Chain A
Amino acid sequence: MLQTFKDIIDILSVPTISFTFLTVAFPFIFPPSDWFEKVHRKLGIWRLWTKPGFYGGMIAITGFFVIGYFDPNFHITLTKADNFPIVLMVYSMFITIWWSMYQAYENDARLEKGLKPMEYNDPDDKVLVWPDLVYIEFIALILFMVFLIVWSILVAAPLEEPANPASTPNPSKAPWYFLGLQEMLVYFDPWIAGIVFPMFIIIGMMAIPYMDVNKKGDGYYSFKERRIGMFIFMYGWLVLWLFLIVIGTFFRGPNWNFFGPFEFWDPHKVVPLNNVNLSEYVWVKLLGQGMPANILLRESIGFLALVGYMGFLPILLAKTWLKNYFQEIGPVRYTFLMMFGLSMLALPIKMYMRWLFNLKYIIAIPEWFFNI
């Protein structure tokens, strides 16, 4: 019985399935439009952000870790000292997101009735920092320090064998907070996954207040007033960052192969990874001829695809689907929003192209170290 359950979890957690499930389910969890909202209400997904939803989520997460703890294979990954922060991360992120959504739904209901959000107080009715805030800070400090000391006593900081430049441990992982990046490296070349995307993440995040022209929802928990912005951010944060960290930590084993949580980490697991470039697909498989000698001609299809995606798609959207939105925020904001948004979307797109067609690069010019 338990074994069947574990097998099912192993199959479900394969990125192709779990990532697809999350992506499809996401607009129903954080509904960005009225239609999704209706389904969200009808299917009762909103109950996730009520108290029973909290208990349910906590029981599910804890159950997973408890079963994992007693599973001989998952035990090894789970009890690694360096993986403890990820367990903390899973819990704290669930609790905080639940807590903010719980308050957001309460505020949404209040706003619908024409009331002020519950954070609102009479501006003249202020409290003194000493003692009201200073004591809270003091208690939080002490509790946190106690937690940190207990953690430090119980778990020794990991120290592996002395550095040996000749033998790479298998698997070899980046610090956990960079595992999202390491997961991207499977799908993109280092200069994109390691340089361009991180830059875009940093600059794109800094640009959020300038791209988000929605003035509502400033200074209190709310969802409905800013659901589109919330949806985009939460998809990037939860699925494209935190979920990839969880995958990288728990599900990536020797040779960076995927292993289900309850699967044995077999270093000889063979996964065929014969990847083909777009230019090879077009010239060799489709047209049945050799690759052209001219590099730019060879990769012209890829360049066309890139220009179409980053250049023409935004223009097309501005004229059709996003017409009103384009007029609202103006060309400069729109250009930046599209640049960051489409780059973010490029990650799942490339992941699916890899999974479905074994596509390696859209543009492959190793001669110039220019691969996309």
Chain B
Amino acid sequence: MTNEDKKIIPAASVNPEEMDKNGLGRRGFFRWITVGWIAFSAATGGFFTLIIRFLFPNVLFEPPQTFKAGFPNDYASNTVDTRYKKKFNVWMVRDEGSIFALSTVCTHLGCTPNWLGTENKFKCPCHGSGFRMTGINFEGPAPRPLERFKISIATDGKILVDKTKSFKWEKGEWEQSESFLKV
């Protein structure tokens, strides 16, 4: 009876240590299959990471992000200048004491608002967001004010707008000296 029972039990489960001498025991098998699966997952994961990385090129061929926007005296106070809107997506705004470069990209979904001079506001045609001359949002779905770009005076006295750096009101960045020009 006991002899017969022993016969039925598979050899590998009898004594793992003993099996290791001849070949792969149960413990060794699980060790190897774990290593194998980890290696496989890592390789697959790495491959898909590379695929995702493939979507992001190293060099972008986009238009230059800095431009010169005339002299400070070109702008009358309390006006919004739209002449750089088409080419550079920037409004030059001069209020009482300063000039700043306002982004024309609506903070809601990136449409280009229109400056309505009579109503003294920017109004976005896509979802109706409204912004005051300063760029502060006051109506519609826009979650935050328009962004301002870095602005400075170049060596030739002209205004230099650098679109690579933007200033957000909600982070208190409009206080920073690079975000406006004192006039």
Binding site for B on A (CB under 8 A): 164-172, 182, 185-190, 194, 254-257, 268, 270-275, 361, 364, 366-367, 369, 371
Q: Once the chains are docked, how many angstroms separate the CA of A171 from the CA of B104?
A: 17
Contact with A along B40-55 (1 / 0, CB 8 A): 0000000000000000
B126 touches A172 (CB 8 A): yes
A185 touches B108 (CB 8 A): yes
Whether B138 is near chain A, meaning CB under 8 Å from some CB there, is yes
Specify the chain A residue showing the minimal Cβ separation from B125.
A170
Specify the chain A residue showing the minimal Cβ separation from B119.
A270
**How many contacts between A and B, using CB within 8 angstroms?**
77
B134-163, CB < 8 A from A: 138-141, 143-144
Given known pairs A167-B86, A168-B125, the reply for A189 and B141 (CB within 8 Å) is yes
Given known pairs A170-B114, A366-B170, A367-B170, the reply for A255 and B125 (CB within 8 Å) is yes
Specify the chain B residue showing the minimal Cβ separation from A170.
B125
Question: Which 6 pairs, one residue from A and one from B, show the smallest C-beta to C-beta distance?
Answer: A170-B125, A273-B139, A256-B128, A166-B86, A366-B144, A168-B112
Given known pairs A273-B140, A366-B144, the reply for A186 and B128 (CB within 8 Å) is yes
Q: Once the chains are docked, how many angstroms separate the CA of A186 from the CA of B127?
A: 6
Whether B35 is near chain A, meaning CB under 8 Å from some CB there, is no
Whether B26 is near chain A, meaning CB under 8 Å from some CB there, is no
Interface of B (DSSP majority class) = loop
Chain A nearest CB, measured from B100 CB (Å): 19
Q: Once the chains are docked, how many angstroms separate the CA of A185 from the CA of B104?
A: 20
Whether B93 is near chain A, meaning CB under 8 Å from some CB there, is no
A168 touches B111 (CB 8 A): yes
Specify the chain B residue showing the minimal Cβ separation from A371.
B143
Q: Chain B contacts of A182 at CB under 8 A?
A: 127
Q: List 19 A-B contacts (CB under 8 A).
A: A165-B89, A166-B104, A168-B124, A168-B126, A170-B114, A171-B126, A172-B111, A185-B127, A185-B141, A186-B127, A190-B108, A255-B124, A256-B126, A256-B127, A268-B118, A273-B130, A274-B138, A366-B144, A366-B170
Binding site for A on B (CB under 8 A): 85-87, 89, 104, 108-109, 111-114, 116, 118-119, 123-128, 130, 138-141, 143-144, 170-171
A275's partner among B118, B125, B139 (CB-CB below 8 A) is: B139
B128's partner among A164, A255, A268, A367 (CB-CB below 8 A) is: A255
Specify the chain B residue showing the minimal Cβ separation from A369.
B143
Q: Chain B contacts of A167 at CB under 8 A?
A: 86, 112
Specify the chain B residue showing the minimal Cβ separation from A169.
B125
- Other CB < 8 Å A-B pairs besides A268-B118, A273-B140, A367-B171, 19 of them? A166-B86, A167-B86, A168-B113, A168-B114, A168-B125, A168-B126, A169-B125, A170-B125, A171-B126, A172-B125, A185-B127, A254-B125, A255-B124, A256-B124, A256-B125, A256-B140, A366-B170, A367-B170, A371-B143
Q: Chain A contacts of B118 at CB under 8 A?
A: 268
Q: Chain B contacts of A271 at CB under 8 A?
A: 128
B112's partner among A166, A190, A268 (CB-CB below 8 A) is: A166
Q: Once the chains are docked, how many angstroms separate the CA of A169 from the CA of B126?
A: 8
Chain A nearest CB, measured from B129 CB (Å): 9
Given known pairs A171-B125, A172-B125, A254-B125, the reply for A166 and B139 (CB within 8 Å) is no
Specify the chain A residue showing the minimal Cβ separation from B138.
A274
B143's partner among A170, A255, A268, A366 (CB-CB below 8 A) is: A366
Chain A nearest CB, measured from B149 CB (Å): 16
Specify the chain B residue showing the minimal Cβ separation from A187.
B141
Q: Chain A contacts of B144 at CB under 8 A?
A: 366
Q: Chain A contacts of B89 at CB under 8 A?
A: 165-166
Q: Once the chains are docked, how many angstroms separate the CA of A168 from the CA of B108?
A: 14
B139 touches A274 (CB 8 A): yes
Q: Once the chains are docked, how many angstroms separate the CA of A182 from the CA of B126?
A: 9
Chain B nearest CB, measured from A189 CB (Å): 6
Q: Once the chains are docked, how many angstroms separate the CA of A62 from the CA of B109?
A: 36
Q: Once the chains are docked, how many angstroms separate the CA of A112 from the CA of B13?
A: 64
Chain A nearest CB, measured from B105 CB (Å): 10
Specify the chain B residue showing the minimal Cβ separation from A173.
B126
Q: Once the chains are docked, how many angstroms separate the CA of A165 from the CA of B105?
A: 10
Specify the chain B residue showing the minimal Cβ separation from A182.
B127
Specify the chain A residue showing the minimal Cβ separation from B109.
A190
Q: Once the chains are docked, how many angstroms separate the CA of A256 from the CA of B126?
A: 6
Q: Once the chains are docked, how many angstroms separate the CA of A188 from the CA of B123?
A: 18
Q: Chain B contacts of A364 at CB under 8 A?
A: 143
Q: Chain B contacts of A187 at CB under 8 A?
A: 141
Q: Chain B contacts of A268 at CB under 8 A?
A: 116, 118-119
Q: Chain B contacts of A369 at CB under 8 A?
A: 143
A185 touches B128 (CB 8 A): no
Q: Once the chains are docked, how many angstroms separate the CA of A241 from the CA of B140?
A: 21
Q: Chain B contacts of A189 at CB under 8 A?
A: 141, 143
Q: Chain A contacts of B86 at CB under 8 A?
A: 164, 166-167
Q: Chain B contacts of A257 at CB under 8 A?
A: 128
